[in-house]
Amino acid sequence: MTILHRLDPRRSLTTRIILVNLTLILLALGSLALWTGLRLQKGVIEEAEAELEVRALIVANGLREPVQQQLAYEEAYYEKDQEKHDEDEDEDEDEDEDDEDGDKDHTVVFAPIGDRDFKALVDSFAQEMNARVTILDPNLTVRYSSDPQVPVHVEDRHPEILAAFQQQDDHDIRFDEWTGEDRLFVAAPILGSDGIEGLVQLSISTADIRQRVRAMWLTLITATLVLTGLFILASILLGEQITRPLRRLTAAAHRLASGDLSVRMEMDRQDELGDLAAAFDHMAEEISQLLARERAFVANASHELRSPVTSIQLRAELLQMTTADDARRERYIRDIHQESENLARLLQQLLALDRAQSASPTPPEPLDIAPCLRQVVDLMQPLAQHAGLTLTTDLPESLPPARLAAQDCQIILRNLLDNAIKYTPAGGRVAVQARAVEDGVEIVVRDTGMGIPPQDLPHIFDRFYRVDKARDRTGSGLGLALVKEIVTQHGGEVWAEATEGAGATLVVHLPGAA
């Protein structure tokens, strides 16, 4: 069932590749083989015709004088025979005429030529040429043939005979009525000083030609089948090279979907499948990191929410106790109020971070952020004074426009200033600067606080991360994470420059509006 499943073209990419390649190969090779076979078949026949025509010319040249001698010998023989019959007066006149006609029509005599007669000479040519040789006189009458099945003294007006009589080349493949087989016929004129002395007809059986054609077709078909088999094998190997990584990728995707975040393809290939495997590994890594961050986020959020909720619950229970005095009740109420504010701030930042992550990718309209920065500094000035800090600014009247919403601009600077004020002791300074750079604008917030230890510097933009977890219970660890999320979504960068005990500098770079 598994094999049938894998061979199903609807389910198997390998099978579809094989079928497509097989179809194309059969069409291409079949058409090429058919065209080549027909051309070769025609070439074989034309070669046989040309070869037989050359033989006919050789025989015609070789028999030029023997034919003249034979025809002259026959003519002298018949004249002498006629005189003999005329002198025989005792013979019946009618019988003489019948005998005379019969001798003239059916008696075949051969002239002596050298040490042999005309018949032997023609038969030798037939044997050398491996063909049937037939001699015709200028009246297109058969005078002799090397094949005894061919009758003599019959007129022959086939196409090759008529063409030779006109001193033209022609050939014909037809059914031979004397031997009952298909034969190839050619003819050539025997030329003398007075014109055509006679004709030579050569013919051979087409059995040999058909055998050569069959052998040629068999070779061509065999070669086509072998090439088709090789192409099919190559298609199978190609299909396996493509589908094997895909099957591995499918299995890895199922494992990843089942929760195995450690699965990786790790495929060492430089082609598109290698790119796909690398993309899968990158996706798996990103999913693994995302889920790890989400788990950490849930764990940290649960922890951060548990502390104020537990504190509120404990103090509410203490308030219900009748033994608590008024001063203690008032302190518990203040603590509940403080924890509820912390809880509200935490929930507000969580909602703001969620909105930043799910914000529409549509860029906002270009904005000069200088007025927005001054507004936020004015709002944060009382908070800095209450903490005993000096808040200074270096803001130009205007800045190159950046694609940033006014609300996001306020969130960025508010969280940067809140973080700087929180970690700067009383008597310190916080400075806000904004400047135009070559490809946008930069916002810089410096403080003279406790600084950031080197081991904490790479993590300060992580969610719920606090540098001093033991002392800081007022912060949620979400402010800088929210800043990074907003800046990154707008194509910018944010980084920190700090030394432990020497203050910190946070820089936001926003690209200019194109």
DSSP 197: E
- pLDDT over 70 (residue 88): no
In sequence order, what are the beta bridge partners of 504?
A: 447, 498
CATH number reported for the structural domain that contains residue 368 in this entry: 3.30.565.10
CATH number reported for the structural domain that contains residue 155 in this entry: 3.30.450.20
Domain count, the chain: 3
- How far apart are alpha carbons 109 and 72 in whole angstroms? 11
In a domain, 499, yes or no: yes
In a domain, 431, yes or no: yes
285, two tokens: 């890594």
> Please, which pLDDT band fits residue 101 given cuts at 50, 70 and 90?
very low
Residue 320: Cβ-neighbour burial (10 angstroms; 0-12, 13-18, 19+):
exposed
pTM score: 0.49
- pLDDT over 70 (residue 457): yes
CATH number reported for the structural domain that contains residue 298 in this entry: 1.10.287.130
User: Do 322 and 457 share a structural domain?
Assistant: no
DSSP reduced 3-state for 444: strand
User: Do 459 and 413 share a structural domain?
Assistant: yes
In a domain, 268, yes or no: yes
DSSP reduced 3-state for 143: strand
> Can you give the residue range of the structural domain that contains 395?
362-511
User: Do 185 and 78 share a structural domain?
Assistant: yes
User: Do 375 and 339 share a structural domain?
Assistant: no
User: Do 348 and 465 share a structural domain?
Assistant: no
User: Do 189 and 268 share a structural domain?
Assistant: no
Range name among 368-372, 390-394, 432-436, 449-453 with the lowest pLDDT average: 449-453
* 199-239 confidence digits (pLDDT tens): 999 999 999 899 999 998 999 899 888 988 888 888 778 77
The residue among 341, 358, 375 that closes a domain is: 358
In a domain, 237, yes or no: no
DSSP reduced 3-state for 196: strand
- How far apart are alpha carbons 44 and 38 in whole angstroms? 10
In a domain, 467, yes or no: yes
The residue among 333, 358, 383 that closes a domain is: 358
Amino acid letter, residue 372: C
User: Do 308 and 441 share a structural domain?
Assistant: no
Question: Token pair 């950046």 is at which residue?
Answer: 402
- pLDDT over 50 (residue 331): yes
User: Do 276 and 389 share a structural domain?
Assistant: no
The residue among 181, 205, 229 that closes a domain is: 205
In a domain, 178, yes or no: yes
Residue 36: Cβ-neighbour burial (10 angstroms; 0-12, 13-18, 19+):
middle
User: Do 431 and 317 share a structural domain?
Assistant: no
Q: Which of 448, 452, 450, 451 is nearest to 428 (CA)?
A: 448
User: Do 99 and 154 share a structural domain?
Assistant: yes
- The listed range with the strongest mean pLDDT (72-86, 245-259, 432-446) is 432-446
Angle at the Cα of 158 (from 157 to 160), degrees rounded to 5?
115
User: Do 393 and 349 share a structural domain?
Assistant: no
Long-range CB contacts (< 8 A, 24+ apart) of 270-279?
273/242, 273/245, 273/246, 276/245, 276/249, 277/245, 277/249
Cα 341 versus chain centre, distance? 63
Better pLDDT: 380 or 339: 380
* 110-158 confidence digits (pLDDT tens): 777 766 788 888 899 899 888 999 999 999 999 899 999 999 889 999 9
User: Do 200 and 102 share a structural domain?
Assistant: yes
In a domain, 255, yes or no: no
29, two tokens: 């090779």
In a domain, 449, yes or no: yes
Confidence (pLDDT) at 306: 66
Write the CA distances from 427 to 290, 327, 389, 432, integer angstroms. Answer: 42, 33, 5, 17
